[in-house]
């Protein structure tokens, strides 16, 4: 749902107030409410707003697979007052469905975190979370790796590696870097994919995205004398980096040792 401005002709003195005008006012208030619930980069990331009462969360597009169902779940939300679920009925080529987000701006020189709550009634269901990349004109350029979560099927380095889904709510955090020319993304949540014949229900809630600094810790350098014949023992260099509960930790380091003939140098790198 987008902002729909009121026209001057609709509010002229003496003009009767009609249902369509009040509906527009209501929708605009719901839109502003959704903006107020802007959840770490994702509009309506907890699926709370459905201003037009069509059963689908605003700012998301719903699609269903053969035999599938997709609907709100009010009785067992994990965040806020409700979550969204997809039901896979079982059977070959059947499935649940998906939610696809609006476009969100990104830059190829930044790293982003996406978090979401997921759980399933059947651990063997195939669920996926994709990031779909688009260029500046919003042409799809989906470049691998674009799968942040997959269960019941192993994936690439950025995939949440698990052959089973959590059966109680779990907050999962993954990271991604847009490819060259990537300027927009869409997030696609798939519950009960069609190539896995496992009946059950998958729940999604609390989808959030934040950009990270290009480096969490930088500039820690241990350097001895560069003159031949001398050496400085710098001892231990400790770097403490706060970690998220789930995700990818990338560590880059460079060590150079210059010694006189016959001398041996050692370098040890450990992570505790």
- pLDDT at residue 48 tops 70: yes
Q: Per-residue pLDDT tens for 100-151?
A: 999 999 998 888 888 899 999 999 999 988 889 999 999 999 855 556 676 6
Collapsed DSSP state (helix, strand, coil) of residue 36:
helix
Q: Are 104 and 117 in contact (CB under 8 A)?
A: no
Confidence tier at 188 by pLDDT (50, 70, 90)? very high
Q: CA 189 to CA 96: how far, in whole Å? A: 11
Predicted local distance difference test score (pLDDT) of residue 227: 45
Burial class (CB in 10 A: 0-12, 13-18, 19+), 200: buried
> Which of the two residues, 172 and 88, has the higher pLDDT score?
88
Q: What is the DSSP letter of 25?
A: H
Q: What is the pTM of this model?
A: 0.67
Q: Per-residue pLDDT tens for 224-254?
A: 444 444 445 555 555 555 554 444 555 555 5
Predicted local distance difference test score (pLDDT) of residue 272: 54
């Amino acid at each position: 749902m987008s902002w729909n401005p009121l026209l001057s002709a609709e509010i002229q003195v003496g003009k009767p107030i009609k249902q369509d005008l009040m509906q527009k006012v209501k929708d605009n208030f719901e839109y502003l409410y959704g903006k107020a619930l802007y959840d770490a980069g994702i509009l309506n990331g907890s699926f709370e707003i459905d201003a037009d009462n069509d059963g689908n969360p605003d700012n998301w597009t719903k699609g269903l697979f053969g035999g599938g169902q997709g609907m709100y779940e009010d009785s067992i939300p994990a965040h806020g007052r409700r979550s969204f679920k997809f039901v896979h009925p079982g059977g070959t080529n059947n499935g649940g469905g998906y939610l696809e987000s609006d476009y969100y701006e990104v830059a190829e020189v930044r790293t982003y975190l996406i978090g979401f709550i997921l759980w399933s009634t059947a651990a063997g269901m195939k669920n996926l979370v994709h990031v779909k990349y688009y260029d500046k004109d919003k042409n799809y350029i989906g470049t691998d790796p674009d799968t942040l979560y997959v269960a019941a099927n192993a994936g690439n380095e950025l995939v949440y590696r698990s052959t089973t889904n959590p059966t109680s709510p779990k907050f999962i955090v993954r990271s991604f870097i847009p490819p060259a020319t990537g300027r927009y993304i869409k997030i696609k949540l798939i519950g009960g994919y069609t190539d896995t014949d496992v009946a059950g229900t998958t729940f999604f809630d609390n989808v959030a995205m934040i950009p990270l600094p290009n480096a969490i810790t930088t500039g820690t350098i241990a350097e001895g004398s560069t003159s031949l014949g001398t050496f400085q023992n710098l001892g231990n260099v400790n770097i403490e980096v706060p970690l998220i509960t789930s995700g990818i930790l990338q560590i880059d380091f460079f060590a150079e040792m210059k010694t006189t003939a016959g001398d041996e140098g050692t370098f040890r790198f450990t992570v505790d």
